[in-house]
Each structure stands twice: as C-alpha cells, then as structure tokens.
C-alpha cells in the first residue's frame, strides 16, 4: 500500500520485449517430467504418457479483479496462479504446468514486473508446477494477467460437477467468508489512507482474513488426501464465486436439489467477529462472499466413515431429488430457497 519512493525504477523500454521475457523468466526451472520443452521456443512440448490432462484458464483485469492500491504485485502473481490451480484440483487432478500472459502499460517499471514474477515463481515452486510459456504485450490502460494451468490425472479419475446422486453428502474443505471480509477490511483501510496517508493501517486483528484475500492457497493437499482415504467424490467444484452459487452449480449440473444446514457452515472466529464489526450477517457472507478457493464436493453416504472427524472436511448438507429444490435450513429450522448472488464482477 505504501510505495517506497527510493526504489529504483527501470523503464521497460530499456530491455525491449525479448530482454524483458528473458529477464522475467530466467529463474524458472523444469520440475515436472511431463515438461519436455518449456519457455524459449515457439511452443512448449509436453508428454503425459497414458494420463488424461485438464486445461483451464483465467484472465484478471486491473480495476475489475484486483486493485493495486492494496494488492501488492507479488501477491497478485501468486493469486493469479492459485486461482487456476484451484480449478485443476477441482477436477481431481494434479497441477503440472502453467503459462502466464501479461499486458502492461508503460506506467509499470521493470521492478514492478519483477515483483509480479516473484509471486508467480513462489507459487510455482510451492505447488510444484512448471512455468512453460506465455505472452508479453503492451496495454494502454492497466495491467492484465492471464494464466492457463495444465494438470494430469489417471484415466477415469476425473470428477465433474454433474456426478452427484440423491442422498450424497455435501462436503466443504476449510472455511468460507474470510476472503470477502478481508477485502472489506482492505477497502476500508484504503479509504482511511486516502484521507490521511500518515495513518498507517493496523491490520493485526485481521491477519487471517486479509491473508485469505491477498494470498489464497489452492487445496493441493485435498487431492492426495481423498485418494489415501479411498474416497472419490461424485461431483466437485472449487469455491471461487461463493458457496451458494457453487452449490447451485453442482445441483444444476447433477439435476438435483439439496439441503444446506446453516449451523454446519464452517466459519473462522475472525470472520464471525469482523462480520459483527461490519454489522453484516455471517451466513450471508459465507454464502455469497467469493474467492475462498476451498473445494466443495459430494460423496456417497457409504464414504461418510472415511471423512468423519477429519479436520479438513465439514459435511454441510446433502443432495435431494431435483423436485425438492435447493434450500438453506436455518438455525431456527426454517427453510429458505438458496439464491446465488455470486461474485460482484458483473453486477456493479
Ligand atoms: P512468439 O513470438 O512465438 O509468441 P514470444 O517472443 O512471445 O514468442 O515468446 C518467447 C518465449 O517466451 C515463448 O516460449 C513464450 O511462451 C515465452 N513467454 C513470452 N512471454 C512470457 C511471459 N510473460 N511469461 C512467461 N513466458 C513467456
Ligand atoms: Mg508472443
């Protein structure tokens, strides 16, 4: 949020396009045996033997998906990789490679792109994926970053949104609502900073939720964990737009209804206290806040003993016939039809 005025600024024109690509990508090392050729030719070459592969892509636009006023570029690079890996894991696959394409205006010096790429590199190292290419171009306005992720899985181990069956349990990893409330805190602090730049924000009480917003982690761990437990989800999706909207996707694609129990939705204590501070209902935030990047899946009731008591998983409801509809069963035991307010990109 606070810029270091003494920091050295190198205009991108000093390097030229090829010099820039070379500079940004020189640290990337190949980690995956499926990567035959990475950065440096007209195309990367991959070999997955008898595996199936999954491919997913996301485009992030400055001012729409991120605000550099509180999003450090390093975190942006990390998050851009994370949101794609999350989609790979949601297919029950292991992520192996990413490509990164950027469009930058000349207001970004080299040092800014170095920060962006240090976040990308950190994510690639921690999540064991190769950066195998991309594209670099200029933009008249802001920064655009597009990441494509590739993953592999054994044949027939794909998990789609459409496979849930009646009476399957609805299971969520981690907790939800944190990333959204983290964003509320950051936006409030940004307003305070605008009024008085000497006013240093104290984010200490909000560490968990701010980190959920700025440095989300995709649930890489869940894929081998489910395999070890001998559980193959019948359907799965990652929680990017909000729990409510993701549940509705699973229901719609599987042609089912569901009951979701309000008292089973996992919330971090910090989310509960910040919801009180902001005077918003924590269930509304849990249902409609986005960007938690947890996994939501369904399992057969027969698999319940395998996941029961596991701290990674919360059973939050179960699937019903399509005709029963999709409902939130509240703490007061009333039934409210689920609505998807979704994430705000297209609504405001
Ligand atoms: P082309 O003209 O064939 O598109 P480029 O000069 O754009 O080739 O890219 C040269 C190499 O650098 C390619 O391997 C490409 O995938 C990679 N590359 C280009 N831009 C980026 C980037 N921003 N991040 C990572 N790799 C990149
Ligand atoms: Mg190119």
pLDDT at 5: 53
CB 234 within 8 Å of CB 165? yes
What three-state secondary structure class fits 138?
strand
Average pLDDT, stretch 17-35? 96
43 Cβ closer than 6 Å to some ligand 1 atom? no
Rounded Cα gap, residues 86 and 291, in angstroms = 10
Task: Please tell us whether the domain made up of 169-337 is placed in CATH 3.90.650.10.
Answer: yes
Among protein residues, the one with the nearest Cα to ligand 1's atom 19 is: 135
Q: State the DSSP H helix or E strand holding residue 328, giving kind and residue range, or none if neither.
A: strand 326-329
144 C-alpha to ligand 2 centroid (Å): 15
Q: pLDDT tens digits, residue range 198-249? A: 877 788 899 999 999 999 999 999 999 999 999 999 999 999 999 999 999 9
Q: CB of 42 closer than 6 A to ligand 1? A: yes
Q: Is the pLDDT higher at 195 or at 145?
A: 145
Report DSSP letters for 187-209, one per residue. Answer: HHHHHHHHH-TT-----GGGHHH
User: How sure is the predictor about 4, in pLDDT bands with cuts at 50, 70 and 90?
Assistant: low
For ligand 1, atom 16: residue with the closest CA:
133
Domain ranges of the chain: 12-153, 169-337
Does residue 38 carry a pLDDT above 90?
yes
* pTM check: above 0.85: yes
The HSE-up count of residue 231 (CA atoms within 13 Å, CB side) is 26
b/e burial code for range 153-179 (CB count within 10 A of at least 16 → b): beeeeebbbebbeeebbbbbbbbbbbb
Report how far ligand 1's centroid is from the alpha carbon of 130 (Å). Answer: 14
134 CB near ligand 1 (under 6 Å): yes
Which CATH class for the 12-153 domain? Answer: alpha beta
- Pocket of ligand 1 contains residue 103 by CB under 6 Å: no
Same fold for the pair 12-153 and 169-337: no
Q: Is the CB of 77 under 6 A from ligand 1?
A: no
């Amino acid at each position: 949020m606070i810029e270091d005025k003494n920091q050295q600024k190198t205009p991108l024109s000093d390097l030229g396009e090829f010099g820039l690509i070379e500079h940004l990508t020189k640290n990337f090392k190949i980690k995956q045996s499926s990567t035959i050729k990475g950065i440096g030719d007209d195309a990367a070459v991959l070999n997955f033997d008898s595996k199936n592969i999954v491919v997913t892509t996301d485009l992030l636009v400055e001012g729409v998906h991120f605000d550099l006023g509180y999003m450090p570029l390093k975190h942006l690079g990390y998050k851009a990789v994370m949101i794609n890996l999350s989609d790979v894991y949601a297919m029950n696959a292991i992520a192996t490679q990413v490509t990164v394409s950027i469009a930058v205006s000349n207001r970004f010096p080299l040092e800014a792109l170095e920060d962006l790429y240090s976040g990308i590199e950190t994510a690639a190292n921690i999540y064991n994926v190769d950066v195998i290419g991309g594209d670099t171009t200029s933009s008249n306005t802001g920064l655009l970053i597009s990441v494509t992720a590739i993953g592999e899985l054994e044949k027939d181990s794909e998990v789609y949104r459409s496979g849930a069956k009646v009476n399957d349990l609805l299971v969520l990893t981690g907790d939800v609502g944190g990333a959204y409330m983290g964003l509320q805190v950051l936006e409030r602090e940004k307003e305070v900073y605008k009024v008085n730049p000497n006013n240093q924000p104290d984010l200490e009480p909000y560490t968990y939720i701010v980190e959920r917003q700025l440095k989300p982690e995709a649930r890489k761990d869940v894929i081998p964990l489910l395999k070890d437990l001998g559980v193959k989800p019948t359907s799965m999706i990652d929680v990017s737009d909000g729990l409510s909207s993701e549940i509705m996707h699973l229901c719609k694609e599987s042609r089912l209804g569901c009951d979701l129990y309000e008292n089973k939705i996992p919330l971090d204590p910090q989310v509960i206290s910040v919801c009180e501070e902001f005077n918003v209902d924590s269930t509304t935030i849990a249902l409609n806040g986005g960007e938690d990047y947890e996994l939501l899946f369904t399992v057969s009731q027969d698999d319940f003993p395998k996941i029961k008591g596991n701290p990674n998983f919360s059973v939050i409801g179960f699937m019903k016939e399509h005709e029963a509809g999709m409902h939130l069963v509240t703490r007061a035991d009333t039934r409210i039809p689920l609505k998807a307010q979704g994430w705000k990109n297209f609504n405001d």
